[in-house]
Structure 1
Amino acid sequence: METTERILDAAARVMREEGLAKTTTKEIARAAGCSEALLYKHFADKQEIFVRVLTERMPPIAMDPGMVGQGSVTGNLRVIVEGLLRFYAQSFPIAASIFSSPSLLAAHRESMNARQKGPHLAAAAVRSYLDAEIAAGRVSSTVDTDAVAVTLTGAAMFEAFLAAFAGHDEPAEVPALARRVVAVVAPALAG
């Protein structure tokens, strides 16, 4: 594994396990099995390491564009919500820690904007899926896809927050939770 990748993996692990306040270059170097000096051969400063972890080590939100028109809409939404629950559960501890550092948050925001990425994309992806299902005639054209998308992503984020707060890696019974969350919006999908 390349040194830069090893350092980023180690920094992500330390950030997740110890939080931002305890993530020092000394701890990152120890976890990566290298010297602090080596960190600075690959990164300008600790903030660059943090921003790179936040932009490159967050788990992706998996949305299969091939699911449009396949299976049931509620079944597909359950799969999406399960993915969102796992995404937020994995990323929440690291993402939440950046709010303790205004400069890191600003750098992360700038990095995300430059890459045209950010937290809004989860709801945008759900909305796009629903819009495609409307176009396919499987969801009522009267559905407020923005509201449904925010409801589903918001519920997933909240449950991930509760799991993190309780010290769990992910919410309990993810499939059952996804089923219950989707059941709340299902009546709206039919119009």
Structure 2
Amino acid sequence: MAPPARQRILDAAARLLREKGIARLTTREIAVAADAAEGSITKNFGGKLGLLTALLSSDLPELAAWRAALTPPTAHRGDLCAALITVGDKAIDYYAASLPLIAGAVSDTTLLDAYRATNTAQDTGPQLAVESMATYLTGWQSTGALSPEADTWALALLFCGAAQLQAWTEHLAGPLALPRDRDARIRAVVDALVP
């Protein structure tokens, strides 16, 4: 049985957005690739920008993998470090996947304004990643694995920023542009954040 039209549209849009970018992609092309009626994009997402927002906010497989990596906190600092290494790897994957999707919106002021308005209306946006990580770190803090003096919001911002910068640097300058390999960089960031 074929997946519902909404999922087919999401899958087709993610693939086409990576290949073509948002600026050159039409809802007609997405509908054809999804074997769906063009009107179903408007019905399910309110248009191309709503579709982009849905992908970035909840429907990218890389975001689901990042969320799935948020394992329950324990009282052991070693578990926290191991969890953050796994979560860091998934966060980098998400930011790498999201870059081609958001690049078109960021480079066009009309699209950017519409993207911001959609995020405001739907209570979505990039801040949710930082909020989610802050909440996750607060959970670890409550077990004693993370210092009670640690500013979990600041740590989350640093963590997400490091993941995003690594993903974008690799995408724009190549995987060898940064020193060390990816795993070593993640471990170094985790060690710096959780001394």
Same fold (TM over 0.5): yes
- Change over 3 Å in CA distance of 1:8–1:140 after alignment to 2: closer
Residues 115-170 of structure 1, C-alpha deviations (whole Å, 9 max, x = no match): 322211212222222222222222222222222211111010001111221467xx
Deviates more, 1:24-33 or 1:147-156: 24-33
Return the alpha-carbon distance in structure 2 between the equivalents of residues 22 and 138 of structure 1: 48
Gaps (5+ residues) in structure 1?
none
- TM-score, scaled relative to structure 1: 0.77
- Change over 3 Å in CA distance of 1:144–1:10 after alignment to 2: same
For the 8 Å contact 1:73–1:138, the answer to whether it is kept is yes
Tell me the residue number matched to 1:3: 5
- Aligned to 2:38, the other structure's residue is in SS state helix
Identity, in percent, stands at 30
Q: CA deviation at 1:95?
A: 1.9
Greater RCO (Cα-Cα under 8 Å, separation 6 or more) = 1
Return the alpha-carbon distance in structure 1 between the equivalents of residues 114 and 188 of structure 2: 37
Residue 133 of structure 1 pairs with residue 135 of structure 2: no
Return the alpha-carbon distance in structure 2 between the equivalents of residues 25 and 131 of structure 1: 41
Gaps (5+ residues) in structure 2?
none
Return the alpha-carbon distance in structure 2 between the equivalents of residues 33 and 125 of structure 1: 35
Aligned length: 181
- Change over 3 Å in CA distance of 1:64–1:25 after alignment to 2: closer
Q: What amino acid is aligned across from residue 136 of structure 1 in structure 2? A: T
Q: CA deviation at 1:74?
A: 1.3
For the 8 Å contact 2:27–2:48, the answer to whether it is kept is no
Out of 33, 50, 73, the position equivalent to 1:67 is 73
Return the alpha-carbon distance in structure 1 between the equivalents of residues 151 and 192 of structure 2: 14
Show the 5 A alignment for 1:93-172: 93-166=100-173
Return the alpha-carbon distance in structure 2 between the equivalents of residues 142 and 105 of structure 1: 37
Residues 84-130 of structure 1, C-alpha deviations (whole Å, 9 max, x = no match): 11111111210222113333333332332333222112122222222
Return the alpha-carbon distance in structure 2 between the equivalents of residues 126 and 68 of structure 1: 16
Out of 167, 170, 179, the position equivalent to 2:187 is 179
- Aligned to 1:139, the other structure's residue is in SS state coil
Q: What amino acid is aligned across from residue 87 of structure 2 in structure 1? A: I
